[in-house]
Amino acid sequence: MAEERIDVGGVAINAVTAGEGPLVLMIHGFPGLAWSWRHQMAPLADAGFKAVAIDSLGYGGSDRPADPALYDSDHMQRYLLAILDHYGAGTAFIVGQDFGAQYAWNLAVRAPDRVRALVATIPYDYDLAGRAMLGSAETLPPGTPPQPVMASADHPPSRRFAAMAAQHFLHFHYFQEVGPAERELGGNLAEFLKRDFFALSANGNLWNWLDVPSEGSGYLDALPPAPDLPWPWLSEAEFARFVEGYDHPDIMKRVIGGLNSYRTADANWEIGRAWADHDVTVPTLFVHGARDPSFGFFPEWRERMARRVPGLVDVVEIEGAGHFIQQEQPAAFNRALIDFLKSR
């Protein structure tokens, strides 16, 4: 595998590549790194593709600017298109997980001529906590207070987060303020990563926060302790690579990529208004873990995707996998991924 830093317009993105052939760009989420796609690199190369996995902005070997504005959906769109241009790819296969799926959906909607096909693992509409494929039309009477819901065309995300946080701890709300989360998570980096990885896995308990009050609580109060490593899908050495990738001399920048992605929610909601009624027409594979706890945010995802993703080719559910499907069940994920890419 080769590694390089790519200037994408004022900031640099770290990329890992393997193989030659049609480009497959893989975009991770939080917590994640290019290392999240370690099980996909060689199989894709062996199947005749050029695998490219990036450290998204704010992560790993990429630049880590503090300004949240540099992480909004318009900027992320430009960074990803610059990466395709760097490799001379007029079109590419785009694969996204967690926040990476958000960016992948956006690319498919806003630059469909550059997306040969889309593979996503999370049914984000196109913006974190945006409208969840509900469209741009407001549904509540004027003056209605923000509802404690994850997606809505009526109120910006931060106001809905606050309404939810009035009932129980919600990390979406906690992360909006600059400072507390940086110090808490950056100061307990290995413990945070271990707890978050486990909570989002097939055997975790992400929803523990429903029993945790917002007042006086941090994210580690809402994440149950995780069992000792190794786990069936994550060795001690693999986990150490994640910790090393997140570490930074400045504690405020250790998890800045993830935190700033949450802090762009309102900006993305505004940007996304112009795209909220657009459907996803590019060929799309939706592959997800049967035990992904994050799907509690998307109770009607099947019905909404059927309406709003006319390019949907298949939905593949993988048993024994949670949120980190490509790591928890790599053989099954790779089989679905490569079969789909070859069919395109």
222's CB contacts (< 8 A; 6+ apart) are 169, 171, 208, 209, 212
Give the single-character DSSP code of 252: G
Instruction: Say whether 323 is catalytic.
Output: yes
Give the single-character DSSP code of 224: P
- CA-to-CA separations, 338 to 186, 310, 332, 342, in angstroms, rounded: 36, 21, 10, 6
Active-site residue, selected from the candidate residues 75, 171, 173, 323: 323
Active-site residue, selected from the candidate residues 55, 98, 125, 292: 98
Among candidates 12, 57, 67, 64, which has minimal Cα distance to 263?
A: 67
For residues 223 and 171, the answer to whether their CB atoms sit within 8 Å is no
Alpha helices in the chain (DSSP H): 38-46, 73-86, 99-110, 157-165, 171-174, 180-186, 189-199, 219-222, 236-246, 256-263, 265-272, 301-308, 325-328, 330-343
Among candidates 241, 326, 338, 325, which has minimal Cα distance to 45?
A: 338
- Residue that the structure tokens 């600017």 belong to: 65
Distance CA 25, CA 265 (A): 24
Instruction: Say whether 28 is catalytic.
Output: no
For residues 219 and 225, the answer to whether their CB atoms sit within 8 Å is no
Distance CA 77, CA 267 (A): 14
Task: Supply the residues annotated as catalytic.
Answer: 98, 323
